[in-house]
C-alpha cells in the first residue's frame, strides 16, 4: 500500500471510495490514519471531546470483512467521521460541552449514529461544542468545556458556535465529514467561518433521538463536509422517519443529483443590500464574485424582500421558553453555576420566567411566518445571502453586547438580515457554500429553500462548486 499523504485527509467521499476500490488504501488504514490525526491535531483547535480510536478500529475491521465477502453498504462504507458531543454513544461520556455533565454516560446510542454504523461509516471521535449548544446565550467563545473553538485558518479567530468542533475538524482534515446541530445558526455560522460545506436539513427530516434537547421545535441535525455532494450522500444515510423522535416528519430522503433541474430554470431570490451595505467591506468582492458565478451558471437572480416580522424576538421567546423547561433541573440544582459563561448562566435562569401567554403568541406568529415563506417560494425556488456578513471574529471578542449597552448602528437596508432565525422558525433547509476569502479568512453563501427541497439546494451547490474551487482550499499548515 502507498503511504498516506495529506491529500487523503481532504478527499471527498467519492474520492475515498475510488481509493479503497483501487486498493490504494484500506478501510482499516483510513481509520488508523484519521483517528491518529484527530487525536494529535484536534486538541490544537479545541475540537476534540473524546477520541474513539479503538471503536474506529473495530468498525473498520468489520467494514474490511464485509468488503472481503462482497457485501457493500453504499458510499459511506469505511469513511471516517465525527459527531458533535451532544449525541449519545452507548457506554461513552456525552458531556454536552458543559462541566455539570462531564461524567454523563448513556446506555444507548443516538439514532443518527446507528444509521451511520449501518451505512458502514467509521466513527473516530466525538467533537467539541459550545456548552449546552449555546442554551441561555453566551458572550464569549470560551463558553465550552474544551475551551474556545479555534479556527484552522487562524487560531486567534473563532471556529464558530455551537458546532465549533464539527466545522474545525472537517476544515483541518481531521474527519471526512461530521455531524453538527442547529437551533439558530449553529451549522451555518461555523461552516461559514471555517470554509466548509454544510447542510441544515428541513426540521424533522433527521431524527434527534439521542441528541441533547435545547429546543424541541427548533433543533436539527446535519452534516459538515468537503462538498455539497458529500452532504447529499450523508443526508441520504441519516434521514428518515423515527418514532422515537416526536418531531420526526416521517419522510425519507434520496439523493438524486441525476434529476437536478437546469440552473437556467431556477429563480433565486436575493437582496442587493446583503452584498453591499450589510457585508463587511473586506468580504464584498468575494460575495460579488459568488453572485457572478450563479449568474454565469444561468440562474435568474431576482430582488426579493423578506416579510417584515420580528424574527429574532419570536425565536428568542420560543427558544427561551423551551430551554427553560429542558434545563429546569440543572437550574434548580444550582449546578448551572458551573457553566463557564456568566451570561449563559443568567440567560438560563431568566428562561424560567417566560410567560405562557408570550410563548403562545410567539408560536402563533411563527405559523404566520411559515405561511409567508410558503408564498415566497411560490415566486422563487431558493434564496441566497451571505452565510455571515464577514469572517470569523477574534476568540476574545465579545459575541454580544453587555446588557444595557447601546445597540450598534443598523445598516441602512436590512436585506435578509433575519434569514437565519426566520429559516429556523419556518423549519427551512439551508446549504452553506464556501465562496472565497476576506483577507485570509473564508466566507460563505447560504442557500435556503422550501421545506424538503434539499435536492434542489444540493444541485445548486454542486453546480457552484463545479465552477469554483473555494471548497478545495486548505488551511495553512
C-alpha cell of 293?
458565478
CA atoms of 339 and 355, how far apart (whole Å)? 25
- Sequence-separated (6 or more) residues with CB below 8 Å from residue 55: 123
C-alpha cell of 49?
471531546
CA atoms of 417 and 55, how far apart (whole Å)? 43
Choosing from 186, 227, 248, 453, which is the catalytic residue? 186
Cell numbers 451532544: residue: 86
C-alpha cell of 454?
434539499
CA distances for 278 relative to 302, 303, 389, angstroms: 18, 15, 7
Is 83 within 8 Å of 74 (Cβ atoms)?
A: no
**Residue 162 annotated in active site:** yes
- Cβ atoms within 10 Å, residue 4: 17
Choosing from 162, 184, 248, 453, which is the catalytic residue? 162
CA atoms of 331 and 112, how far apart (whole Å)? 29
CB-side neighbour CA atoms (13 Å) of 397: 10
- Region label for 305, one of left (φ > 0), alpha (ψ between -120 and 50) or beta (otherwise): beta
Lateral strand order in the sheet of 48-51: 48-51, 122-127, 80-84, 177-182, 220-225, 197-200, 430-438, 441-449, 382-386, 267-270, 300-303
Kindly tell me the burial class for residue 71, based on how many C-beta atoms sit within 10 Å of its own C-beta (0-12, 13-18, 19 or more). Answer: exposed
- Sequence-separated (6 or more) residues with CB below 8 Å from residue 298: 262, 263, 264, 266
**Residue 84 annotated in active site:** yes
Cell numbers 453504499: residue: 74
Residue among 298, 301, 291, 311 at smallest CA distance from 417: 311
Cell numbers 485570509: residue: 440
**Residue 115 annotated in active site:** no
Residue among 219, 166, 252 at smallest CA distance from 432: 166
CA atoms of 315 and 293, how far apart (whole Å)? 33
CA atoms of 388 and 312, how far apart (whole Å)? 16
Gap between the terminal Cα atoms of the chain: 25
CA atoms of 146 and 126, how far apart (whole Å)? 12
Choosing from 84, 115, 220, 462, which is the catalytic residue? 84
User: Catalytic residue positions?
Assistant: 84, 162, 186
Amino acid at each position: 500500500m502507498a503511504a498516506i499523504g495529506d491529500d487523503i485527509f481532504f478527499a471527498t467521499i467519492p474520492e475515498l471510495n475510488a481509493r479503497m476500490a483501487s486498493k490504494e488504501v484500506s478501510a482499516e488504514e483510513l481509520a488508523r490514519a484519521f483517528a491518529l490525526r484527530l487525536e494529535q491535531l484536534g486538541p490544537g483547535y479545541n475540537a476534540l471531546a473524546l477520541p474513539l480510536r479503538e471503536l474506529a478500529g473495530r468498525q473498520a475491521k468489520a467494514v474490511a470483512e464485509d468488503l472481503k465477502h462482497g457485501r457493500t453498504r453504499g458510499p459511506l462504507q469505511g469513511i471516517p467521521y465525527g459527531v458533535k458531543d451532544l449525541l449519545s454513544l452507548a457506554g461513552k461520556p456525552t458531556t454536552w460541552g458543559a462541566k455539570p455533565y462531564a461524567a454523563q454516560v448513556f446506555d444507548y446510542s443516538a439514532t443518527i449514529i446507528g444509521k451511520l454504523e449501518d451505512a458502514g461509516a467509521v466513527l473516530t471521535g466525538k467533537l467539541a461544542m459550545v456548552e449546552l449548544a449555546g442554551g441561555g446565550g453566551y458572550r464569549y467563545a470560551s463558553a465550552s468545556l474544551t475551551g474556545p473553538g479555534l479556527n484552522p485558518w487562524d487560531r486567534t479567530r473563532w471556529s464558530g458556535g455551537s458546532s465549533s468542533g464539527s466545522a474545525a475538524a472537517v476544515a483541518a482534515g481531521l474527519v471526512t465529514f461530521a455531524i453538527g446541530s442547529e437551533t439558530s445558526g449553529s451549522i451555518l455560522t461555523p461552516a461559514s467561518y471555517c470554509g466548509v460545506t454544510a447542510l441544515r436539513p428541513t426540521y424533522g427530516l433527521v431524527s434527534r433521538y439521542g441528541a441533547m434537547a435545547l429546543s424541541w421545535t427548533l433543533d436539527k441535525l446535519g452534516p459538515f463536509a468537503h462538498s455539497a455532494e458529500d452532504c447529499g450522500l450523508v443526508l441520504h444515510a441519516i434521514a428518515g422517519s423515527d418514532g422515537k423522535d416526536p418531531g420526526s416528519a416521517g419522510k425519507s430522503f434520496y439523493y438524486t443529483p441525476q434529476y437536478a433541474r437546469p440552473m437556467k430554470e431556477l429563480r433565486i431570490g436575493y437582496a442587493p443590500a446583503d452584498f453591499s451595505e450589510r457585508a463587511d467591506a473586506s468580504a464584498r468582492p468575494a460575495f460579488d464574485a459568488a453572485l457572478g458565478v450563479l449568474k454565469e451558471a444561468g440562474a435568474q437572480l431576482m430582488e426579493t424582500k423578506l416579510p417584515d416580522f420580528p424574527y429574532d424576538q419570536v425565536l428568542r421567546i420560543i427558544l427561551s421558553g423551551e430551554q427553560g423547561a429542558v434545563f429546569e433541573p440543572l437550574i434548580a440544582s444550582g449546578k448551572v453555576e458551573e457553566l463557564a459563561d456568566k451570561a449563559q448562566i443568567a440567560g438560563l435562569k431568566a428562561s424560567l420566567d417566560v410567560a405562557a401567554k408570550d410563548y403562545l403568541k410567539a408560536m402563533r406568529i411563527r405559523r404566520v411566518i411559515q405561511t409567508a415563506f410558503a408564498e415566497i417560494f411560490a415566486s422563487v425556488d431558493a434564496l441566497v445571502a451571505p452565510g455571515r456578513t464577514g469572517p470569523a471574529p477574534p476568540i476574545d471578542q465579545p459575541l454580544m453586547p453587555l446588557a444595557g449597552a447601546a445597540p450598534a448602528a443598523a445598516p441602512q437596508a436590512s436585506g435578509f438580515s433575519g434569514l437565519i432565525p426566520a429559516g429556523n422558525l419556518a423549519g427551512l433547509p439551508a446549504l452553506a457554500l464556501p465562496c472565497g476569502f476576506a483577507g485570509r479568512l473564508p466566507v460563505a453563501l447560504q442557500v435556503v429553500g422550501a421545506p424538503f427541497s434539499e435536492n434542489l439546494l444540493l444541485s445548486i451547490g454542486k453546480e457552484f462548486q463545479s465552477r469554483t474551487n473555494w471548497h478545495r482550499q486548505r488551511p495553512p499548515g
